[in-house]
Amino acid sequence: MRIFLLSLIFLCLGMQQVKAQDQGSVSGQILERKDGETEPLIGANIFWVDGTTMAITDEFGMFSLEKVKHTDQLVISHIAFENDTLLVGEQLFLTLTLDAGVNLDEVTVKSRKRSTEVSYMNPLKTEKITEKELAKAACCNLSESFETSPSVDVSFTDAVTGTRQIQLLGLAGPYTQMTREMIPDIRGLSALNGLSHSPGTWVESIQLNKGAGSVVNGFESIAGQINVELEKPEETERVFVNLYGNIMGRAEANVHAAHSFSPKLHTGLLAHYSQNSRKNDSNDDGFMDNPLKKDLILLNRWRYIGDKGIRSQFGVKYTTSNHFGGQLDYDGLSEENNPNLWGLDLNNDRMEAWAKIGWVNEAKPWESVGLQLSAMDHSQISQFGNQPFNADQNLFYANLIYNGILGNTNNTIKAGLSYQLDTYEEHLGFGHYERNESVPGAFAEYTYTKGEEFAVVLGLRGDYHNNYGFFATPRVHARYAPNSGTVIRASAGRGQRTANIFAENFALFASNRNWLIFSRDNDNPYGLNPEIAWNYGVSLSQDFTLDYREGMISVDFFRTDFQDQVVVDVDSSPNEVRIYNLQGKSFSNSLQFQVDYELIKRLDLRIAYRLFDVKTDYTRGLLEKPLTSRNRAFINFGYETSDSWSFDYTLNWQGKKRIPFTGSNPAEFQLDEYSRSFVLMNAQVSKS
């Protein structure tokens, strides 16, 4: 399969190059004049007068259309302008500016925007979770932002740290690439608790795609990618204050401030402070239900829009977090020498800086060059009972991207170079681990688009890891729309990552298990092989209209096959965590069926069912992944009144979950093989 994917990429590139040379076509740019200035007109329909073939202008107003023999009259159509007809003749490139003088008479069109949008044209099925969707739940940070999304599961990793972890396609959060405005964000030491360090009010939108992502963003994505867009300084409120509190002792404050020094220079400041100050023990077991905490997060960003196509932005972010939990009488590290108390201390300090610098060719807006830079320093000091876990991580990341076309805008290409440097130091009671990972790489991604009907993305990158050597990452995405309401997508690709065995599983420290690491190669991180997986997926999206109201049905299936995996085995013994490379097979099958529909005016319904089949070969044989429901169902009702009242209700049913083996425990400490199914319900009333 891997050889086939590589061959397919090079074959399609070669065939398309021949096709581009043999076929005649006309391309161009459609502009509109506003207030004396011109800008690209997006979404204009370009077609021959006989209606044989059609193209749609992209974000740069560009189009490309194959020539036909029997006519050279080209029609330009847009909802806001009267139709215009051009005689093409022998011209190969056209530029047309539509003037406000031929605007149609103004009409008022009212429509309700969906809270979660799926791009019709994108070959990757990307779900955009908007601010409207985020407002359906009283979410205070990113880990609480997926309560109304059936695609992402959020669960607590344990009953002590209060850490929330996401799952996508039945796989744990670290298999999903997390980016902030397309720059790698939550990884390494922040793999689990990093979700809580992105306050909800900072988030403008979230883009989610399942399966193999783009090679432009790296090689680590296996289950999918979640990209978070923050509030932009030139678009957000000048001053914004948000306060939150609940009866459990949680209090939060968010403050946004933005200023425009000129039409070209903008800055924004985002501040967040939160604390849990009350010890809760609702089940009277002598342990806090959630840890006490104090979090301070500050972010400052600058955005510059220069002349001659220059664009740039820069930002810094600082996070300090102090959590402690455990038994009710535990008050932090001051009690660490008291053998009669079990406590948790988790302290993080993280400093980040990033920059984006780009240039767009104003004469050829499809051509651009961009540079992404990111650096981070993360320090963690933690104690789980008598088990310390202190760690430091430093990161440098650079990504240089070129965007262009091959002949016309039906054939676009992205190519570039990347470099990633990670350094880690981890100190535990049973060992000390250090590693440096240096990974230079190069990538190319070709996209062929044939109007609204068909598109294919072929991507290939090569990287050299200082421990693992050279490896290739091929990925392919295809989209086919047989009609205006139906979209079929398919994808396949490879992903590779280094498992951070302690940071990604630190909740297991709370169980007081002994850690056993079965190393293969002491030159590799932890003496283990990298995790390598192939992901394949297919999806169908079907729009429909019932009783004059619109709806959408979507079905998707994804399979992930691990070629190698770092197995975290808590089944061999209830007293041990065994970590070793995969011996056998490991896979995940994910099937999701979803319906979105407006039941009556202003009342939206979302209903979904998911089936997961996730299994791994452990020392005890091929077993289901522990604590993962095979069957899940989801329903959400959302109602809006004309005066901006919102009512939301969400029900999430999860079937039984396999519990790790406890058969060797004394009888009174043995658990059932499976948990019971359960239902989680959330409801909210809000006014905006």
Q: Domain map of the chain by residue range?
A: 24-102, 118-228, 229-687
d(CA 148, CA 668): 38
- The Cα-based distances of 415 to 184, 200, 303, 442, 447 in angstroms read 18, 34, 25, 8, 12
Give the residue among 503, 377, 342 at the shortest CA–CA distance from 428: 503
Extract the tokens encoding 4: 């086939």
DSSP 8-state assignment for residue 669: G
Which CATH architecture fits 118-228? Beta Complex (2.170)
Q: So what's the pLDDT on residue 2?
A: 54
CATH of 229-687, one of 3.20.20.370, 2.40.170.20, 1.20.200.10, 3.40.1010.10: 2.40.170.20
Secondary structure E strands in 547-630: 549-564, 566-569, 576-581, 586-600, 603-618, 621-624
d(CA 361, CA 232): 23
Instruction: Give yes or no for a contact between 531 and 496, defined as CB atoms under 8 angstroms apart.
Output: yes
* DSSP of 486-545: EEEEEEEEEEEE---TTGGGGGGGGGTPEEEE--S-TTSGGG-PPEEEEEEEEEEEEEEE
Instruction: Give yes or no for a contact between 491 and 476, defined as CB atoms under 8 angstroms apart.
Output: yes
Say if strands 153-156 and 62-66 run parallel, antiparallel, or are unpaired: unpaired
Extract the tokens encoding 490: 């398919």
Give the residue among 451, 433, 447, 346 at the shortest CA–CA distance from 52: 451
Instruction: Give yes or no for a contact between 100 and 41, defined as CB atoms under 8 angstroms apart.
Output: no
Map residue 387 onto helix, strand or coil: strand
How many helices, marked H, and strands, marked E, lie in the chain?
A: 2, 41
Q: So what's the pLDDT on residue 123?
A: 85
Map residue 419 onto helix, strand or coil: strand
d(CA 201, CA 226): 17
- Tracing tokens 């400052």 back to the chain, one arrives at 300
- Tracing tokens 């590799």 back to the chain, one arrives at 524
Q: In what order do the strands lie in the sheet with 116-118?
A: 116-118, 126-129, 203-210, 224-230, 176-180, 183-184
Residues 6+ apart with CB under 8 A from 158: 507, 508, 510, 511
d(CA 78, CA 84): 9
Give the residue among 362, 351, 418, 426 at the shortest CA–CA distance from 392: 426
526 φ/ψ angles, rounded to the nearest 5 degrees: 60, 10
Count, residues in the chain: 688
Give the number of C-alpha atoms closer than 13 A to the C-alpha of residue 60, restricted to the C-beta side. 24
Map residue 3 onto helix, strand or coil: helix
Q: Which helix (H) or strand (E) holds 11?
A: helix 2-22
d(CA 493, CA 93): 36
Kindly tell me the sign of the dihedral angle through the C-alpha atoms of 9, 15, 17, 20. negative
Q: So what's the pLDDT on residue 456?
A: 96
Burial readout 297-319 (b: 16 or more C-beta within 10 A, e: otherwise): bebbbbbbeeeebeebbbbebeb
Instruction: Give yes or no for a contact between 585 and 196, defined as CB atoms under 8 angstroms apart.
Output: no
CATH 2.60.40.4130 is right for the domain spanning 24-102: yes
Burial readout 567-598 (b: 16 or more C-beta within 10 A, e: otherwise): bbbbbbbbeebbbbbbeeebbbbbebbbbbbb
- All residue ranges of the chain with pLDDT < 70 are 1-24, 34-37, 50-52, 79, 91-92, 100-115, 137-139, 333-339
Extract the tokens encoding 334: 């001051």
- The Cα-based distances of 142 to 114, 166, 186, 202, 646 in angstroms read 20, 10, 11, 9, 21
Q: So what's the pLDDT on residue 11?
A: 44
Name 549's bridge partners. Answer: 546
Other C-beta atoms closer than 10 Å to the C-beta of 295 total 20
